[in-house]
Amino acid sequence: MANLSNDILYAALNELSVGIIIIDEQQQVVFFNQWLSDHSGLYLMQQEGKPLDIVFPQYLGSRLSTACESALSLGLPSRLSNTFNPTPLPLYQKNFLGDDKHLIQQQISVKKIAIDSSTPLCQIVIDNVTHMVKKEQTLLKLADENKIQRQKAEIANKSKSQFLANMSHEIRTPINGVLGMLTLLNDTQLSKTQQHFSKLATVSAETLLNLINDILDFSKIEAGKLDIESVAFNLADCIDETVQTMAIKAQMKGIEVIVDRTALIDESVIGDPSRLKQIISNLLSNAIKFTEQGEINIKVNTTEVDTTHLKLLVNVSDTGIGIPRQKCSDLFDAFTQVDASTTREYGGTGLGLTIVRQLCQLMGGDIEVKSKQGQGSQFIFHLLLDKDDHIIPPLKAFNEKPVLVVDSNVNSGQMVSRQLQLWGLDVELCNAKSEMKSLYSKIENNNFSVLLIDASIDTFLLENIFTSLANANKSQSNKTQVILLTRMDNSYAKSSALLTSLMTKENVHTLTKPIVTKSLHRKLTLSYSSESRLSELDDNNKAFEFQSFDDDDDEQVKILLVEDNRINQEVALGLLRKIGYRADVAKNGLHALELLQQRQLSEPYQLVLMDCQMPEMDGYQATIAIRSDDQYQLSSQVNIIAMTANTMKGDQEKCIAAGMNDYLAKPINPSLLAEKIAFWLAH
């Protein structure tokens, strides 16, 4: 380094792409490199020895001059950012000298250079940061624009949700009226033709409701407004209930529905039972829709993921029309159907599977399809559930009693046999079609404790089975018990004299298909116990029956219905009458407060059914007044159930926050209404 000549150093400094000025203690220019010449238009040689404030009058009293003084006198280095003064010296882009539009933005470093102690010098290095600043400004502008766009999108999203909430409310309100009125109409004396018309109108209204629910769900998912609940529920019951409510449609088409949950322990889990039901209902309803003959199998199992999580795996397969392989991957996209003719023939929106997939993904899982045209379809989904600490004890086992299962459906027979074996029974399975000949002797020669017989087998076969059974029972002290597996609509049983007479026999019990594990266990327990058949509970029928109340009870219950819509008033009153209650009507929140006050001393109301959106005073305001205003002190504890068409995320919470006890979405489900009323009257 020491050998470098001054010429070389001088040339190197002149080649630099930063500006360099060196000044002495008097702030006179000692050196000025080429870059400065190029950007200031001043000649290098002419500047040496001149005070810097003469070369650049802007220097006088500037931050730069203060920095140079500090460097020279105290040795303090400085870096002058361009934020406060972007162009401290008049320096321009090379080809635009003197044009203020092309002043360059400068970042300046100032440092003392001491060659020996007697000649302190100060070096000023000037960086052109114009490009960097421009880039920063562009980025900032973009960020601002993004922010504005984001704000705009947020506002649009809010309006969309608000629109959805309004639409949901506006559409549900009249559908509630239509469905409710039809329910009431169906209870009146109707001619056959009228019944037919009313049934068709009900189906159409229900279809419309499903359609609206689908579109709303889809939009809610899109807007990120769909909430997944976390409540404790029994997985097996949830699946059984869903299949039970749908199976009748399949059975009416002559399709066998088989639920195999032998691989599922009775699990108490935490998750969203309504969304799980929605997924299964959707897949099942498609399976029923696209299958003309054969069967639908629902296989369920759970595996442990870790100490706190379970993976639920459900496989819904059918023997229907199937799906061409190349179409399978698109089915989960919105508004996709296999082809346009599907809509013509089967209806639908092509939204069901999209919603199903989104729901699975929201619950930590996914769904796939396996299908071939003409060869049925399989939809397999899985999702994650939290384990609940609450342990349900397993159903009691029976010790190795011999049982015979006679089913015309292979899968159904195998599933039942597997289930019975799990309960410790010694099971023999007989296919009603192929093993007919050996069947009779088997019955006569084996001392079966229970015979499970599919009631849909050939009448001749059924008759012979019972004859063989009568022969066997002659030589046995214990009569063999029979569980007849019937279908839900039971219409064929009514038309068969044989079945009707068999059902009245003392040792014959009935159980509807699809078989619910718990009901099967109960029937077996009943068969093995000495209890009379008269006390037998027909679970399947009971679940769908309305509770009826004594007249005396009705008179004591005081319900106030707060509802502004005339038709919905009629609907609610009709439904209440049907389940054994009467109610007074208030046409808005104000009217409700009036009635509550009038009645609080004499006959206070025990329950209020409160609509939310009403003119003059809405349900939220009315509830707040009831709970907090001294005028209604005597009624302040009355139970209030919201009955509203507001079904968006947060609506239920809004009702509870206002002080209501419970929430019912419109259209009102009559059995849920009965359940909630009974619950709140008891509390």
Cβ closest to ligand ADP, residue 334 vs residue 678: 334
Cβ closest to ligand ADP, residue 329 vs residue 633: 329
Strands 607-610, 662-665: pairing kind? unpaired
348 binds ligand ADP (CB under 6 A): yes
Q: Please, which contacts does 472-475 make with residues 24 or more away whose CB atoms are closer than 8 Å? A: 472/443, 472/444, 472/445, 472/446, 472/447, 472/448
Binder of ligand ADP out of 124, 179, 269, 338 (CB under 6 A): 338
Strands 366-371, 295-304: pairing kind? unpaired
CA distance 135 to 407: 78
Cβ closest to ligand ADP, residue 377 vs residue 639: 377
Stretch that binds ligand ADP, among 112-120, 318-326, 407-415, 644-652 (CB under 6 A): 318-326
Largest separation between any pair of C-alpha atoms in the chain: 136
92 binds ligand ADP (CB under 6 A): no
Cβ closest to ligand ADP, residue 205 vs residue 673: 205
CA distance 73 to 682: 92
Cβ 136 to ligand ADP shortest distance, Å: 49
* Cis, peptide link before residue 514, omega less than 30° from 0: yes
What the block records as the tokens of 338 is 């296999």
Cβ closest to ligand ADP, residue 129 vs residue 287: 287
Binder of ligand ADP out of 353, 488, 575, 648 (CB under 6 A): 353
Cβ 271 to ligand ADP shortest distance, Å: 22
Binder of ligand ADP out of 217, 256, 272, 318 (CB under 6 A): 318
Cβ closest to ligand ADP, residue 250 vs residue 511: 250
Cβ closest to ligand ADP, residue 341 vs residue 495: 341
290 binds ligand ADP (CB under 6 A): yes
180 binds ligand ADP (CB under 6 A): no
Which whole-number Å values give the CA distances from 371 to 312, 313, 318, 327, 368, in the listed order?
A: 22, 18, 10, 10, 10
**481-519 b/e with 16+ CB inside 10 Å = b?**
bbbbbbbbebeebeebeebeebbeeebbbbbbbbbbbeb
367 binds ligand ADP (CB under 6 A): no
411 binds ligand ADP (CB under 6 A): no
Cβ 335 to ligand ADP shortest distance, Å: 8
DSSP assignment string, 20-51: EEEE-TT-BEEEE-HHHHHHH---HHHHTTSB
Cβ 352 to ligand ADP shortest distance, Å: 3
Which whole-number Å values give the CA distances from 543 to 94, 201, 519, 547, in the listed order?
A: 90, 25, 12, 10
Cβ closest to ligand ADP, residue 273 vs residue 352: 352
Cβ closest to ligand ADP, residue 272 vs residue 318: 318
DSSP assignment string, 576-644: HHHTT--EEEESSHHHHHHHHHHHSSSS--SEEEE-SS-SSS-HHHHHHHHHH-GGGGGGTT-EEEEEE
What the block records as the tokens of 622 is 């009315």
301 binds ligand ADP (CB under 6 A): no
Stretch that binds ligand ADP, among 350-358, 475-483, 487-495, 571-579 (CB under 6 A): 350-358
Binder of ligand ADP out of 323, 465, 469, 626 (CB under 6 A): 323
User: Residue 271's CB: how many other CB atoms inside 10 A?
Assistant: 24
Binder of ligand ADP out of 321, 451, 593, 643 (CB under 6 A): 321
350 binds ligand ADP (CB under 6 A): yes
- What secondary structure, in 3-state letters, does 202-252 show? HHHHHHHHHHHHHHHHHHHHHCCCCCCCCEEEEHHHHHHHHHHHHHHHHHH
Binder of ligand ADP out of 33, 319, 337, 480 (CB under 6 A): 337
Touching ligand ADP, residues 516-575 (CB under 6 A): none
Distance of CA 231 to the CA centre of its chain: 13
Reference 644, options 161, 167, 176, 160; nearest CA is 176
Backbone φ and ψ for 235, nearest 5 degrees, come out as -60, -45
377 binds ligand ADP (CB under 6 A): yes
Residue where the block lists tokens 């013509």: 344
Cβ closest to ligand ADP, residue 300 vs residue 585: 300
Beta bridge partners of 377: 371
Binder of ligand ADP out of 109, 245, 342, 507 (CB under 6 A): 342
Cβ closest to ligand ADP, residue 310 vs residue 353: 353
Touching ligand ADP, residues 4-33 (CB under 6 A): none
3-state secondary structure of 547: coil
Stretch that binds ligand ADP, among 335-343, 463-471, 533-541, 600-608 (CB under 6 A): 335-343
Cβ closest to ligand ADP, residue 14 vs residue 285: 285
Cβ closest to ligand ADP, residue 111 vs residue 327: 327
CA distance 34 to 40: 10
Stretch that binds ligand ADP, among 54-62, 331-339, 482-490, 591-599 (CB under 6 A): 331-339
- How many residues of this chain bind ligand ADP (CB under 6 A)? 19
255 binds ligand ADP (CB under 6 A): no
What the block records as the tokens of 524 is 């077996």
349 binds ligand ADP (CB under 6 A): yes
Cβ closest to ligand ADP, residue 88 vs residue 352: 352
- What secondary structure, in 3-state letters, does 646-679 show? CCCCCHHHHHHHHCCCEEEECCCCHHHHHHHHHH
635 binds ligand ADP (CB under 6 A): no
Binder of ligand ADP out of 65, 251, 286, 646 (CB under 6 A): 286
Reference 572, options 561, 586, 559, 580; nearest CA is 561
Binder of ligand ADP out of 108, 171, 287, 520 (CB under 6 A): 287
Distance of CA 33 to the CA centre of its chain: 70
3-state secondary structure of 316: strand
104 binds ligand ADP (CB under 6 A): no
Cβ 210 to ligand ADP shortest distance, Å: 9
Cβ 287 to ligand ADP shortest distance, Å: 5
Contacts with ligand ADP by CB under 6 A lie at 286-287, 290, 318, 320-323, 331, 337-338, 342, 348-353, 377
